[in-house]
Amino acid sequence: MRFETSTIKDIAKALGLSTSTVSRALRDRYEISEETKKLVLAYAEKVNYRANPIARSLKERRSYSIGIIVSEIANNFFSQVINGIESIAYDRDYHVIISQSHESYKQEKLNVEHLASRSIDGLLIALSSETQDIDYLRDLYSKGLPIVFFDRVPENFETHKVIANNFKGSFDATEHLILSGKRVIAHLTNSETLSNTKERLEGYKAALSKYHIEFKPELVKYCQHGGMHSAELEQAVKELLPLKPDGIFISSDRLTTGCILALKNTNPEVAHKIAIAGFTNSNLVELFSPSLTSVKQPAFEIGQVATELLISMIEAKRPITEFETRVLDTELVRMKKNLGNRYL
């Protein structure tokens, strides 16, 4: 049985008005009397009338929808970014369509092309860890699709970008470990091609340099899929443990939470002896064992700012030629938990 909805024609017929009068009344146009507006709105409410978004899209040549591409919705950071996106989009009468790349370039490209074929008005995207070729995005952009990048952004792409202060966040976390007495500090991170991986590595190096600690490449382990594959993460931990690190700085949300589990699975006796500081937006860090000093990103605000910038591109009357990269500050949250006469 097909679901039938009331139309403007149905309302017009029931009230003995023209369809154009009903349409103008529903849009609160000035040329319609208040009495007629009240009559139309009351009846529309009675029959649960809802405007047809497809008809509106055809008329205005806009879908009032925004596409979002993230690696994984379950990731605390990305889920909070999406909340920020929705808080702005829905208030501006845009719907959002969310897709996951699962750190796959192929999946990312398929998702973006599908969204574009559905006539989205704009795209918000954090690149997958496998993505190196963004020509397909350049092609869509050149054809008029507004695109704003966030968190994981490409170089040499003239559009708006929104990121956290990755250098400062990683510098602060590494410095915290050093000031806690650690000297052999490993770094567990994502794919080396990602923009935030590069920025966080530089922050880690800068903190070591400030305190005259030699940077050792063997203490840096890359996880191509960002901790989504447990075997990849456990292998990285196994390679680090023989180097006897007394601290680990971790560069992403899933890696941070996954590393704690990998340490316990690999060597539970050592797990509580290594101090950990890492990027995570989990609201449950106080429950982690061993305890964790976290770098929190302003995820909600990143989503809000990226959406505002994208809508400004969508609704611009003239082509935009000046773009900006917004950099939002991170926050170091120091956890103080007794670890057998040791505190972080």
List, in order, residues 6 or more apart from 151 with CB less than 8 Å away.
77, 81, 126, 162, 163, 164, 196, 302
Question: What does the pLDDT read at residue 267?
Answer: 80
Kindly report which listed range (41-55, 75-89, 147-161, 319-333) carries the lowest average pLDDT score. Answer: 41-55
What is the pLDDT averaged over residues 318-325? 91
Q: Is the pLDDT of residue 257 over 70?
A: yes
Strand order in the sheet with 95-100: 95-100, 65-70, 122-125, 147-150, 161-164, 325-328
How many angstroms separate the CA atoms of 219 and 73, rounded? 30
Strand order in the sheet with 185-189: 220-222, 185-189, 247-250, 275-279, 292-296, 331-333
Confidence of residue 23 (pLDDT cuts 50, 70, 90): confident
Question: What does the pLDDT read at residue 152?
Answer: 97
Question: What does the pLDDT read at residue 13?
Answer: 87
Question: What does the pLDDT read at residue 32?
Answer: 86
Query: Which residue, 74, 72, 76, 84, is CA-closest to 279?
Result: 76
Q: Hey, how many other C-beta atoms are within 10 angstroms of the C-beta on 214? A: 8
Q: Is the pLDDT of residue 291 over 80?
A: no
φ, ψ of residue 273 to 5 degrees: the values are: -100, -5
φ, ψ of residue 328 to 5 degrees: the values are: -105, 140
Query: Which residue, 58, 51, 37, 56, is CA-closest to 7?
Result: 51
When the pLDDT of each residue in the chain is averaged and rounded to a whole number, the result is 88
